[in-house]
Amino acid sequence: MLSRVANLIYWIARYLERAENTARIVDVNAQLVLDLQSRQDADDPRAWEPLVFVTGSDEQFHELYGEKVTERAVIEFMLFDKRNPSSVLSCVGFARENARCIRDQLSTELWETINTFFLRLKDDDFTRYAQLGSADYLAWIKAQTQLFHGVAEAMLPRDDGWWFYSLGRHLERADNTSRILDIKYFMILPSVQAVGSALDMVQWASVLRSCSAFEAFRRSRRGDLDLVRVVDYLIRDEAFPRGVLYSVAEAEQCLVRIGAGDGEPHVAAVHDLVRSLREDLENADTKSVIAAGLHEYLDGLQLRLEKIHNAIQSAYIHHGRASLQVQVQA
């Protein structure tokens, strides 16, 4: 497979997974704000500031919208602002453009799914979001991305293209599940005594629901909702498909199936990075992680996933170009 085609397929999956998870991050924040004890707290701009912080977009947000953080500004920035490359509209637009570039590699049904999604989304704004309500509008975004993934599951041949698609999807999912957890970390409870309270459990339930994990968690983990149990489930559970460990393990299997260039240093480096991360996740002690600082752990996890992405680009996308350039110069 041409590295250009592999890269476009890889990024189609990443962009659509990012769009879905951006909707999930907005959804969990909206639910957490509604669960605050007083309306005055819910109207506090600081309730929305963590959203742009944990996505790594705080500097860009303040450049575009100023220092004052409001619900409307954050929603516009996260969902509809074309100037934000990680907004839902930007991600769906980038995925559609990538799909257009490899139109001959995709089925008609797959192209029509992404094209229709973009055309229906491109004129939406905060007014449309408010009219439908946050829950219904974000559920529609999630359903559209899941529809594309479902069509891809049914239509894409299980060749290198599929494994690059699956690789991008699982790496993006691992990264964004960690960011959803980080949202709760930054939602400050009214007092220290609120930890372990009914409000605390309601908030953790919102986090689980944002990952479609509430029912699965209840079936597999008995007991109350609390920090340790929810964090352990979303990071270390081996069976839950939106969990970090599960996603990293699936990404590792995708690399095994791609297998091109076995023995080359760049390829070996990718496999080593993914295997090391999987083993660290399997052996992690959740209580020790929380004691040392959950945010710092999640931040380090995101940096390791970024390093894996860069290694994939070097091994499969840019490495061949560099070798060709050396040959030409020689």
Give residue-wise pLDDT tens across range 272-326.
999 999 999 999 999 999 899 888 999 999 999 999 999 999 999 886 554 434 3
Q: What share of the chain is helix, strand, coil (3-state, %, to 5)?
A: 80, 0, 20
Q: Are 315 and 264 in contact (CB under 8 A)?
A: yes
Both tokens assigned to 297: 């752990």
1 vs 278, residue with greater confidence: 278
> Residue 84 to residues 43, 74, 93, 152: CA-CA distances in angstroms?
24, 11, 12, 27
- Quick one: residue 188, left, alpha or beta (phi over 0 = left, psi -120 to 50 = alpha)? beta
CB atoms closer than 10 angstroms to residue 268: 14
Q: Are 27 and 138 in contact (CB under 8 A)?
A: yes
Q: Are 78 and 26 in contact (CB under 8 A)?
A: yes
Quote the longest CA-to-CA distance of the chain: 70
Q: What average pLDDT does the segment 190-208 reach?
A: 65
Specify the pLDDT at position 320: 53
Q: Taking CA 299 as the corner, what is the angle to CA 210 and CA 204, rounded to the nearest 5 degrees? A: 30
275: amino acid identity, one letter: R
Q: Are 95 and 152 in contact (CB under 8 A)?
A: no
Q: What is the pLDDT of the chain when averaged over all its residues?
A: 86
- pLDDT tier at 198, thresholds 50, 70, 90: low
Specify the pLDDT at position 38: 46
Q: What average pLDDT does the segment 155-184 reach?
A: 92
101 has pLDDT over 70: yes
Q: Indicate yes or no: pTM above 0.85.
A: yes
Specify the pLDDT at position 190: 45
Query: Any idea which of 193-197, 221-225, 272-276 has the lowest mean pLDDT?
Result: 193-197
> Residue 107 to residues 19, 34, 40, 144: CA-CA distances in angstroms?
22, 42, 51, 17
Q: Are 96 and 12 in contact (CB under 8 A)?
A: no
